[in-house]
Structure 1
Amino acid sequence: MDIPSDDLEFEIKIRDPRLFDWGIPRYQTELSAGIDLFACVETAIEIHPQAPATLIPSGIAIQMNRPDVAAFLLARSGLGHKKGLVLGQGVGTIDADYTNEIFISAWLRTMPGSEPLTILPGDRIAQLVFLPILRPTLKVVERFSASTQRGDGGFGSTGV
């Protein structure tokens, strides 16, 4: 599926006026895949290693309203690798019909006893990537109409 990016214009609603000072979420470079999202918290918060995930408001809502696009919330690679900050659910899916504020489920994957991570208001803590979506119809069958080299081989069936 080829969706020309110049045909895509989504509306963004600013839920936290501090974003006008920090900068509206945007691509940081010409070839960035995602837009960075800010921690729209009132005060500094500490995320403790292995503690339950914390929901952090992004301060924005987006209207996509297209069945062929969804947004995916991902960890920022530097924070994930260097500090251990990842998403509580791995990847967050923002459906095309979701128009409420986007929240970031932040989880610190470092070992218990490690230092907590402090998140300040305005820190860029996640990224939002837009991807094309295929929506096939599903047909129930007794047997697949074609075979593959792997067949019913499961995990590790092609080697490790």
Structure 2
Amino acid sequence: MASIAVQREAFDAAATTAALTDGRTDVGAVVTFTGLCRDEAGTLDALEIEHYPGMAEAEIARVAADAEARWPLLGVQIIHRYGTILPGEQIVLVVTASAHRDAAFAAADFLMDYMKTRAPFWKREHRRDGSTGDWVEAKDKDAAAAARWL
């Protein structure tokens, strides 16, 4: 059963991974992905991330269950932050555990492709020059990556 958290607070990737694996001897591979806020060549002051509470968690849990059905996973943990995120700060954490690396890598890749394209989050850039950008759209390359899982 996947553990899903949508939170304003920063997270500890090492502690989250340890909570999933400590005391377990059935896990042979753990893949972690941590997404960070880029400064966009020095132009970004902050990234604003919004979501629908309850809906976001339910939708991420649905996709995590899909990953668990596709691959023999022994654990999944996903944390996504919302609010004001500064350059260099963590945005998202995906942790997958399996007996073997191929399943852990594939599931993490699948989950991140989903998080980049279809997760119910909206992002808007606040620039150092004081301007506010439009809500950020998914990139074509991210959509192409996600399409391989259909």
TM-score scaled by length of structure 1: 0.25
Which has more radius of gyration?
Answer: 1
TM-score scaled by length of structure 2: 0.26
